[in-house]
Amino acid sequence: MFRLDPAPRYRLARAPLNQAFVEVRYPVQTALATIEGVAPIQQQLGALFPYLTQQQVQQVSMLVGPAAPLAEAQVTPTWCFEDDSGWALVLSPSNAILSVGAQYGEFREFSDRFRAAMSAISNCAGVLRASRLGVRYLNIAEIPPGDEGAWQRWFRPELTGWSGTDITGESRLITSLTQTQLAAPAVGELVGPPVDVQGIIRHGVIPPNAIIPGAVATQPQRTSYLIDMDIFVEAPQPFDPDELARQLTVFHDQIDRFFYWAMTEDGRAYFGCEVGDDDNPL
């Protein structure tokens, strides 16, 4: 998707990552609406996610008839598997979302947990097909008080654009958001006509208390610079845990390349970037 060199293996001591999550959608599995249907998955994932809670998600649809439109509320059972380290797997009859917040350590753990979750769903619920796979990394870099232009030093001018230059003069920048959508040839064993993998990059300055949707909605308390990277494919494909995990790795690699490219040397210094090598692979 990006004509960028692979990012080196690196670690950020002060990472701006707010949350990372991967979602898989699939045809409705009615068994996953019941505790009996979820119990085998809980048993298989108990070592990774020892805690299970039930949630009720209300969905509202509009019924249009001869009279005025009516709102019909439907309650969808949702199951949340959690651990003590900030990881969560939210499971519903039609999708599964694996997420982690700032506790995110390395991609290998993210990938391993995803493969384990997909294997449990495949083995215990008999899901045969996935209809969507999406990976999203949401970064929110809070701008220190008194240094309103810090973001202009952290990220490349190709990213920050004209609002990161002195063209604004003495004006105070309140918000400046840009969204770019891309498409590239698909990867993996998809079913049906060829489709594209899509990427959406949202970035820019956001004001305090802006509500940012994600696996969990977040609300930064300070003016911040947002880099929200979302890569996904919407097409039927076999529900193969190994293939889905491979696609997760490919999508993550593209996200990783973009974020590493986006940082300037000042940004890498500010975020505490440490690059590994053969002697120190991190």
pLDDT per residue, tens digit, the chain (282 aa), is 899 999 999 999 999 999 999 999 999 999 999 999 999 999 999 999 999 999 876 544 444 445 545 555 566 789 999 999 999 999 999 999 999 999 999 999 999 999 999 999 999 999 999 999 999 999 999 999 999 999 999 999 999 999 988 888 888 899 999 999 999 988 777 777 788 999 999 999 999 999 999 998 999 999 999 999 999 999 999 999 999 999 999 999 999 999 999 999 999 999 999 997 655 555
Domain identity same for 137 and 267: yes
Domain end: 106, 127, 148, which one? 127
Residue 169 belongs to some domain of the structure: yes
Among the candidates 83, 103, 127, a domain finishes at 127
> 255, 138 in Cβ contact below 8 A?
no
Does residue 109 fall inside a structural domain?
A: yes
134 and 110, same structural domain?
no
* Domain contains 281: no
**Same-domain pairing of 7 and 143:** yes
Instruction: Look at residues 127, 149, 183 and tell me which one is the last residue of a structural domain.
Output: 127
Q: Are residues 60 and 191 in the same domain?
A: no
Same domain? 91 vs 200: no
In terms of domains, do 80 and 9 share one? no
The predicted model scores a pTM of: 0.90
Residue 25 neighbours by CB under 8 Å, 6+ apart? 94, 95, 130, 131, 132
pLDDT at position 268, please? Answer: 98
Pairwise CA distance, residues 98 & 89, whole Å: 4
Type of residue at 23: E
The pLDDT assigned to 263 comes to: 98
Strand 176-185's sheet: what is its strand order? 51-63, 70-82, 87-91, 95-100, 17-25, 129-142, 224-238, 196-206, 176-185
Calculate the dihedral angle through the C-alpha atoms of 8, 156, 104, 220, rounding to the nearest 10 degrees.
Answer: 180
85 shares its domain with 153 = no
Q: Are residues 6 and 141 in the same domain?
A: yes
Please check whether residue 282 lies inside any domain of the structure. Answer: no
- Check whether residue 188 and residue 215 sit in a common domain: yes
Tell me the C-alpha to C-alpha distance, in Å, between residue 143 and each of 16, 17, 151, 152, 204: 11, 14, 7, 10, 12
Do both 12 and 136 map to the same domain?
A: yes
In this structure, is residue 93 part of a structural domain? yes
Domain membership of residue 209 as a residue range: 1-19+129-276
Residue 47, in any domain of the structure = yes
Domain count, the chain: 2
- The verdict on 264 and 146 lying in the same domain is yes
| CA-wise closest residue to 29 among 92, 76, 115 | 92
Pairing verdict, β 51-63 and 17-25: unpaired
**Residue 282 pLDDT:** 56
> Exposed/middle/buried for 85, CB within 10 Å: 0-12, 13-18, 19+?
exposed
Give yes or no: residues 11 and 66 share one domain: no
Distance of CA 242 to the CA centre of its chain: 19
